[in-house]
Amino acid sequence: MRRWRTLLATLAAAATAATMGVLAAPGAAQADANVVGGTRATQGEFPFMVRLSMGCGGALYSPNLVLTAAHCVSGTGTNTSITATLGVVDLNSSSKITRKSNYVYRAPGYNGNGKDWALIRLASPVTGLATLPIASTTAYDSGTFTISGWGAATEGGSQQRYLLKATVPFVSDTTCNSSSMYNGEIIASNEICAGYTAGGVDTCQGDSGGPMFRRDSANAWIQVGIVSWGDGCARPNKPGVYTQVSYFASTIASAAASLGG
């Protein structure tokens, strides 16, 4: 069973709690994600970051679409239950932007093993915020990446009020699939690992669906991963596992076009 980095919204108050930064930690069966070992992001530093009311993160793909993880949503179809919070690092800020969802598109064939991406269409576009382009080739699928989110700052901890950020290095598929790490669990064709052998820095509960990104050749941000799963948070020899966006880029673009984004 994959250890998703999301919080299950089992309480009616989950959406409200998310905006207050006080979501309860999940049970022991869900060892999930907030940025561990991070520092506070500054206002406007990552304008594309999105907080979702079910306890996940996301990135603004277009003015009316949020790219997140498939395991954060229940399936494809009309969905007006999700609230997206944008434009702030402080979830309690009076200047936050909120939008309701009206439709969710989950990766075709998703069954909990890979293909961990989804698009959430917002009821109305968001203007004035930068979107985050996705990598369409493997050119940026290595190096040092930035992670960011409102998830827990310690394994099993609470959600954060303020957006945190950190950097993590690429871990090769061979290394990540070694017996000392994930022992063959990584789907090499469409997942990326990132983190430190010694641990200490990682995504954690509540960061699922958020972006992993880096600078491209023009020094602009580009998304290379989606927070997916991992064994606990920031443990030694257990790097974070991310959906490899470049592998799905054409499928995501086609889906986005079909949703009007």
**Which residues participate in catalysis according to the annotation?**
71, 116, 208
Rounded Cα distance, 99 and 120, in Å: 11
Q: How far is CA 133 from the centre of its chain?
A: 14
| 3-state secondary structure (DSSP) of residue 247 | helix
Rounded Cα distance, 123 and 91, in Å: 20
DSSP 138: G
User: Any idea which residue has 């990584």 for tokens?
Assistant: 186
| 3-state secondary structure (DSSP) of residue 36 | strand
- What are the structure tokens assigned to 187, written together? 């789907």
Q: How far is CA 221 from the centre of its chain?
A: 15
Q: Which of 138, 122, 47, 139 is nearest to 89 (CA)?
A: 47
Rounded Cα distance, 118 and 92, in Å: 26
What CA dihedral angle connects 14, 15, 19 and 25, to 10 degrees? 20
User: Could you count the other beta carbons within 10 Å of the beta carbon of residue 247?
Assistant: 20
User: Any idea which residue has 């949020």 for tokens?
Assistant: 66
Rounded Cα distance, 204 and 137, in Å: 27
